Amino acid sequence: MPKAVPSALPAGNRVVVLAYDGLCTFEFGVAVEVFGLDRPEMGDNWYRFAVAAIDAGPMRATGGIRIVADGGLDLLAEAGTIMVPGWRGIDAPVPDDLVFALRAAHGRGARLMSICSGVFVLAATGLLDGRRATTHWRYTQALAERHPAIRVEPGVLYVDEGQILTSAGSAAGIDLCLHLVRRDFGPEAANSVARRLVVPPHRDGGQAQYVPRPVPTLHERARLGPLLDALRADLGRDHAIEELARRAGMSRRTFLRRFAEATGTTPARWLLAERLQRARDLLERSPAPVEEVAAAAGFGSAAILRHHFRNAMATTPAAYRAGFRLARS
């Protein structure tokens, strides 16, 4: 089993999730499932978990559930990470004492995270001004209009700005939480949590929130699926659109349309994301030099890998490896 070896958890490893009257049950459950369960296989350094009440007395959650918290906003003073699991409505005001507590926590180094509409709570603090953020696709326009200083990313699953992290709708919160586990404890720990959740261990934050519609027919799915598998097995080669369309048995125009419907992106961007993921896997698991990683991932040279890594990850391959390589027993 994986041994949890945190890289740099601010203020210890205490995760505090907010509870409020009108609580979003699914988003709250995501935080509990990832951070609040006992995981003895992770060792003694795993997250410690608490629930902080915004409102007095028993609080209602969606579905008729009543919530009794571990404490109030005073718990935020002890948190290394604070999660806002949705919000009771994008038009609902954010209490001043909560805004103050979040600002104070951020000021001493705590990380702030939101799922779905929870971003409106973080936006109310002003801490997202000048930063990138996302939310459910239904709310991105409202977020941009009400908080023009925020650089809203309307189509992605989640955004990691270091000390502040935001995710799109409900299920994207799982992706963000697993991303944080991966950031703190490495890929093996994140994979272990994902297996317990029975979800994919990693979806890149830049992946589209949704695709317009599925590939229309079983016949076309059967043609695209093997093609994607073949591309993953041959990332080092340049792939012309005409060749890919021919292999899929489609015209160029039809292929590009069906590819976008199936993946939410273009072939070039899909290949870049796959190459970056391959490079990340190699950096995390292999001691190979960066030049070899670049060749194995299909980038051709370390310089090209560094260029795309900086654009996508805001870091270098060497720095990424230093932050994510697991301690070896």
Split at pLDDT 50, 70, 90, the class of 321 is confident
- The residue with greater pLDDT, 200 or 75, is 75
* Per-residue model confidence as pLDDT tens digits over 142-191: 999 999 999 999 878 899 998 999 999 888 999 999 989 988 888 788 88
Q: Is residue 304 assigned to a domain?
A: yes
Residues 46 and 63 in one domain: yes
Q: Which residues contact 238 (CB under 8 A, 6 or more apart)?
A: none
pLDDT reported for residue 203: 59
In DSSP notation, 152-192 reads E-SSBSEEE-SSEEEE-SHHHHHHHHHHHHHHHH-HHHHHH
Q: Is residue 279 assigned to a domain?
A: yes
> 247, 264, 281 — which closes off a domain?
264
What's the chain's length in residues? 329
CA 297 to chain CA centroid, nearest Å: 22
Q: Does the pLDDT value for residue 2 go beyond 70? A: no
- Full 3-state SS string of 15-52: EEEEECCCECHHHHHHHHHHHHCCCHHHCCCCCEEEEE
Residues 171 and 59 in one domain: yes
The span from the CA of 30 to the CA of 174, in Å, is: 6
Residues 41 and 176 in one domain: yes
Q: Is residue 95 assigned to a domain?
A: yes
The span from the CA of 41 to the CA of 44, in Å, is: 9
What is the rounded average pLDDT of the residues 13-31? 95
- The token pair at 49 is 């978990």
- The residue with greater pLDDT, 302 or 12, is 302
CB atoms within 10 A of CB 215: 18
Positive or negative CA dihedral for 88, 94, 106, 147?
positive
The span from the CA of 60 to the CA of 53, in Å, is: 11
Is this model's pTM higher than 0.85 or not? no
Residue with tokens 């489609």: 250
Q: Does the pLDDT value for residue 214 go beyond 60? A: no
Determine which of 60-74, 92-106, 254-268 has the lowest per-residue pLDDT on average: 254-268
Residues 131 and 61 in one domain: yes
Mean pLDDT of the residues in the chain: 86
Decide: 76 and 105 in contact? Cβ < 8 Å.
Answer: yes
Residues 175 and 225 in one domain: no
Residues 151 and 293 in one domain: no
Q: Does the pLDDT value for residue 251 go beyond 60? A: yes
Residues 65 and 189 in one domain: yes
Q: Facing residues of 132 across strands?
A: 151
pLDDT reported for residue 213: 40
Q: Is residue 203 assigned to a domain?
A: no
Positive or negative CA dihedral for 174, 125, 117, 98?
positive
Q: Is residue 167 assigned to a domain?
A: yes
Residue with tokens 């944080």: 180
Phi first, then psi: what are they for 110, rounded to 5°? -70, 150
Q: Facing residues of 164 across strands?
A: 112
What is the rounded average pLDDT of the residues 192-210? 66
Residues 139 and 286 in one domain: no
Split at pLDDT 50, 70, 90, the class of 277 is confident
Question: Based on the structure, what is the number of domains in the chain?
Answer: 3
pLDDT reported for residue 217: 44
Residues 256 and 186 in one domain: no
Task: Provide the 8-state DSSP code for 151.
Answer: E
pLDDT reported for residue 23: 97
Domain at 285, CATH number: 1.10.10.60
Q: Is residue 206 assigned to a domain?
A: no
Residues 38 and 170 in one domain: yes
Q: CA separation (Å) from 30 to 43, 112, 190, 313?
A: 21, 16, 14, 25
Residues 137 and 176 in one domain: yes
> 145, 164, 197 — which closes off a domain?
197
> 164, 197, 230 — which closes off a domain?
197
Q: Is residue 46 assigned to a domain?
A: yes
Residues 177 and 319 in one domain: no
Residue with tokens 């991105």: 140
The parent domain of residue 288 ranges over 269-324
Q: Is residue 45 assigned to a domain?
A: yes
Domain at 79, CATH number: 3.40.50.880
